[in-house]
Amino acid sequence: MLAKIIKKHSNTRAKKATAFLLCCYAFFVMNYSSESEHYSRRMLSISQNCTITPTKEVTPDDSPIFIASFPGSGARMSWKLVEGLTGKPTGDEWDSNELGKNVVAVKTHWPHPTHGHKLDWADEIERVLVLMRNPLAAIPEFHNFIYSYTLEGNDELEVKIAPKDLWMQWRDSNFNQQLFLWRSSLQYWLEKYSAKDRLVIPFERLTNELDGVGFTEELNLFLQGGKNHSTTDTTEDTDPELAACVWWKAVQSEHGQQEDMAPLKAKNRKLFRTNPANDRPFTKEQYNQMIVIVRNLRIKFFEEKRLDNVFKMYDVEIKKARDAQKYNDLFMQFSKKDI
């Protein structure tokens, strides 16, 4: 009899606990959805009050910075952010817009041997924005760019996703070289400029809806450092919501959205394909090579908290992608040309 009473009370407590947890969960979901919808509406409203098209000329007081990245790491988005925050034009190491030194930033992929070029007046640039991205995503995105460049009629160079079989063929022929270049490119800029003269921003967090505005605000402050005070020229530039507005427009335009896009839904928190692990797989050995490279970089720059956290994040993401493949030791993932 006593056992039945204890069992009955235990079941009652369990039911009450379950009901309580379900209520908490329902409250969290409703509150999260409401906050997310409010955030998206606010961001959409903010985005009507700025432009990412440069409208001002560079002055002698402007001191340009480098925007350095490995190809496929979001460089185009970063120069849109800089132009939106400063209202002034950027250039690249090829001087594509023929503005020479009359820019507030110079986008560069140097020292990449095929998509980078050493700027003649590089020694005059005293600071750098280093935009880094996990090689797990940067290398496939670089291949997408190469593939898009070969397509006829793609004059605007809209980046297309390459067919999987082409990716695997290119991957097996180029992986070792591109992973080495990813490491050497990143290390080059981290060693060339001291921590006080460079700002390191991870692509994955810059494009995240929850973190992106904060990193854009940090970039805005960095642009105001040294001799570059261009973001304080007008009342509009001192608007605390400028960074949020510029981020929203730069990210959505890079993602192919229209400026009057509807607010994002709560389930779509990330605006970019930041981890194409499922449709752009690597071999088990290639995943392991990436892990070794990232861990070595983490050891080398362990004193810098941000770099340590980013490399740790990359390590976790690569291992997760590798383990998701569920490799059989007797079978490796080959491209069609090897079958």
DSSP E strand boundaries for 115-216: 128-132, 198-202
Tokens at residue 155, please? 């004059």
In a domain, 160, yes or no: yes
In a domain, 218, yes or no: yes
In a domain, 257, yes or no: yes
For 163-195, the pLDDT digits (tens) are: 999 999 999 999 999 999 999 999 999 999 999
- pLDDT band for position 52 (cuts 50, 70, 90): confident
- Segment 255-271 shows an average pLDDT of 36
For 234-253, the pLDDT digits (tens) are: 334 445 588 899 999 888 76
What span, in angstroms and rounded, lies between the C-alpha atoms of 135 and 137?
5
Query: Is residue 173 within 8 Å of residue 327, measured between CB atoms?
Result: no
In a domain, 175, yes or no: yes
In a domain, 38, yes or no: no
> Phi-psi region for residue 326, left (φ > 0), alpha (ψ -120 to 50) or beta?
left
What span, in angstroms and rounded, lies between the C-alpha atoms of 277 and 280?
5
In a domain, 300, yes or no: yes
In a domain, 297, yes or no: yes
Please report, as a single letter, which amino acid is at residue 186. Answer: L
Q: What is the enclosing helix (H) or strand (E) of 8?
A: helix 2-46
Q: Could you tell me the pTM of the whole model? A: 0.76
Nearest to 127 by CA among 243, 202, 232, 222: 222
In a domain, 74, yes or no: yes
| pLDDT attached to residue 260 | 32
| pLDDT attached to residue 254 | 64
Domain of residue 67: give its range: 49-338
Query: Is residue 9 within 8 Å of residue 205, measured between CB atoms?
Result: no
Enumerate the H helices of the chain as residue ranges. 2-46, 75-86, 135-149, 164-192, 203-206, 212-223, 242-254, 284-300, 305-324
Number of domains in the chain: 1
Residues belonging to the chain: 339
What span, in angstroms and rounded, lies between the C-alpha atoms of 192 and 188?
6
Distance between alpha carbon 48 and the CA centroid of its chain, in Å? 24
**Cβ-Cβ contacts under 8 Å for 27 (sequence gap 6 or more):** none
What span, in angstroms and rounded, lies between the C-alpha atoms of 185 and 171?
19
Q: What is the CATH number of the domain that holds 117?
A: 3.40.50
Query: Is residue 64 within 8 Å of residue 106, measured between CB atoms?
Result: yes
